[in-house]
Amino acid sequence: MSGGLAHDFNNILQTITTALHLLKRTCTQESQHKVLDAASRAASRGAEVVRQMLSFGRAQPLDPRPVSLADFVLKNQELLAKAVGGRIALTADFAPGLPAVRADPTQLELALLNLVFNARDALPQGGRIVVRARPATGEETAALPAGRYVSVEVVDDGVGMSAETAARAFEPYYTTKAVGAGSGLGLAQVMAFCRQSGGDARLRSQPGVGTAVQMLLPAAEGAAAAAEERPPARAAGRPLRVLMVEDDMLIASVVLPSLEAAGHRVVMCANADEARARLARGERFDVLFTDMVMPGTMSGADLVQWCARHLPGLPAVVATGYSMQEPEGQRHLLRKPYAVEELLEALQQAVFDVCEP
C-alpha cells in the first residue's frame, strides 16, 4: 500500500512542481512569487512525507554501505545548520576511534534531519542540540544480533515529553504538534530505518529537562571499518601544531577532535581577528587552517594575505564553499563539503611544500 500511494503521490507532485516552475518563469509580480514559493515549499514537504512513508513502510529498499560519521556530519553541515537556525547551538561529540556505521546514507541523512528537526521544535526559546556518537555497550545491544554497534544520539535540553507521549512517540502519524506543523512520520522513519538496518531506536525524555533519541546501528566490519579507526595522518607525516580558524560550532566540534585523534595539536580561534592577534604575539604554528567567510573585520582570505606579508614561512590551507571568494595564489584549497582524510592530507602537503628545498 505504501509503495502504491508513493507512486501516485510522486506523479502528482512532479506535475505540481513542474507547473510551479513554469509559472515562476512568466510571473512578474513579487506578491505572486511569494505565493508560488509557498506552494513550492509545500510540494517539497509533500515529497519528504512520501520518503518517510516509504521508509517506515519498508517499501523502499536500503543500500547499506560503510559511512564515516565525522565525514557525514561535515558533508551535511549546511543542511543541519539550516534545520536549527541561528538561535540554537548545534555541536557534535564523537568518541575517538569511532568505527564507520553500515547504513544507507540517504536514509541516515533523513533520520538525522528528522531528529534534529524534532529537537529544534522542542527548543522554542533556543537552547542546545548535541549529536553524540560512541561504541554501543553490550547492555544496550543485548537484544540485537551479535556484533558491534555504534550509538548515535541527538540530545536536546528542551521542553521534554511526558511518559505518555514518550511511550507513543515512535507510532506512525502520532504527533503533539499543531495541525500542519508535523506529520507524525519523523520518529516512525527513524525507527523503521534503524530496524531495517539491523539495529534499533530508543528514546529518553523528561519534562523540563530534554530529550535524547538514540539510534543503534551496526558497525561496518572489515577493511572499511579498520581504515576508519586508524589515524591516517600519523603514517603520512609528522604531528603538526595547527592554528584552526572556524566560526561554525558544528564543524569545529567535528574537525578539532579528528585532528587531535590524528596526533596534531590544535589551537582553535573563532575568527580571523583572534588568529591574527595570536600570530602577532609571536605564537608559533606549523600550519594555518582557516575558513573563508566569518564574522569580524577580516575574512579568511585577508588572514592568509596578512600571513603572506608578515609570516611568509607559515603555510595555509583554506576551506571554502564560495568559489568567488578564493584567495589569489592559494594552492591548498578545500572545497566544502570536504572529508577529514582530505583535510589531513592537505595539511601535510602544505607543510611539505614549504619545507621542500
Specify the CATH architecture of the domain 65-223. Answer: 2-Layer Sandwich (3.30)
Q: Tell me how many degrees the CA angle 47-107-259 measures, rounded to the nearest 5.
A: 125
pTM: 0.72
Dist CA 152 CA 317 (whole Å): 31
Residues 291, 294, 299, 301, Cα dihedral to 10°? 20
Could you tell me the CA-to-CA distances from 206 to 93, 185, 213, 307, 323 in Å, in that order? 22, 22, 12, 50, 45
Q: What is the pLDDT of residue 178?
A: 54
Phi-psi region of 48 (alpha: psi -120 to 50; beta: other; left: phi over 0): alpha
User: Residue 335: helix, strand or coil by DSSP?
Assistant: strand
Cβ density class 291-307: b for 16+ within 10 Å, e for less: bbebebebbbbbbbbbb
Closest CA to 54 of 17, 16, 106: 106
Per-residue pLDDT of the chain (357 residues; tens, 9 = 90+): 555 555 566 667 767 777 777 777 777 777 777 788 778 777 776 776 666 565 555 545 678 999 999 999 988 888 788 888 778 999 999 998 899 999 998 889 888 988 998 999 999 999 999 999 999 999 999 999 999 999 999 999 999 999 999 999 998 777 766 544 555 677 888 998 999 999 999 999 999 999 999 999 999 986 445 444 444 434 357 899 999 999 988 889 989 988 998 899 999 999 999 999 999 999 999 999 999 888 889 999 999 999 999 999 999 999 987 544 555 556 788 887 788 888 999 999 999 988 765
Asked if the bond preceding 232 is cis, omega within 30° of 0, the reply is no
Provide the grid cell at 279.
600570530
Q: Chain-centre distance of CA 326, in angstroms?
A: 24
Q: What is the pLDDT of residue 229?
A: 47
Provide the grid cell at 32.
505572486
Residues 236, 240, 243, 244, Cα dihedral to 10°? 30
CB contact set of 340 (below 8 Å; sequence gap of 6+): 68, 70, 71, 74, 254, 255, 258
3-state helix, strand, coil in the chain (%, to 5): 45, 20, 35
Provide the pairing of β-strand 210-218 with 200-206: antiparallel
DSSP E strands, the chain = 65-67, 88-94, 101-103, 127-135, 149-156, 200-206, 210-218, 241-245, 265-269, 287-291, 316-320, 333-335
Q: Under a CB-based contact definition with an 8 Å cutoff, are residues 269 and 288 in contact?
A: no
CATH number (3.40.50.2300, 3.80.10.10, 3.40.50.2020, 3.30.1370.100) of 231-355 reads 3.40.50.2300
Could you tell me the CA-to-CA distances from 54 to 5, 14, 42, 180 in Å, in that order? 9, 17, 19, 20
Phi, psi of 268 (to 5 degrees): -100, 135
User: Residue 27: helix, strand or coil by DSSP?
Assistant: coil
Dist CA 193 CA 325 (whole Å): 40
Q: Which residue has the cell 591574527?
A: 276
Q: List the strands of the sheet with 200-206, edge to edge.
A: 88-94, 127-135, 149-156, 210-218, 200-206
Q: What is the pLDDT of residue 126?
A: 92
